[in-house]
Amino acid sequence: MKAMTKQQLADHAGVSVKTLSKWCRPYQDELRTMGFRPHMKALPPNIVAYLSEKLCIDLVP
């Protein structure tokens, strides 16, 4: 897994960044313990992997 921006992850999911942020709300506590901050633009690989698994986002182009 590689680091990506919120925009790139949202594009893979086919939604806007705002919608992606709303989808992340139920996982807020877990993400915070992983180092996620609400205003981060670049997401580290561990958070990208976690979100892609929880939100069923296919990262293969």
pLDDT in tens, 18-61: 999 999 999 999 999 999 998 899 999 999 999 999 999 999 86
- The rounded distance, in Å, linking the Cα atoms of 25 and 1 is 22
> Where do we find the tokens 């594009």?
11
CA dihedral 11→15→19→22, nearest 10 degrees, is -70
Compare 61 and 6 and report the one with higher pLDDT. 6
Instruction: Count other Cβ atoms within 10 Å, centred on residue 48.
Output: 22
CA neighbor of 20 nearest in space, from 45, 41, 34: 41
pLDDT confidence of residue 47 = 96
Q: Rg (Cα) of the chain, in Å, rounded?
A: 10
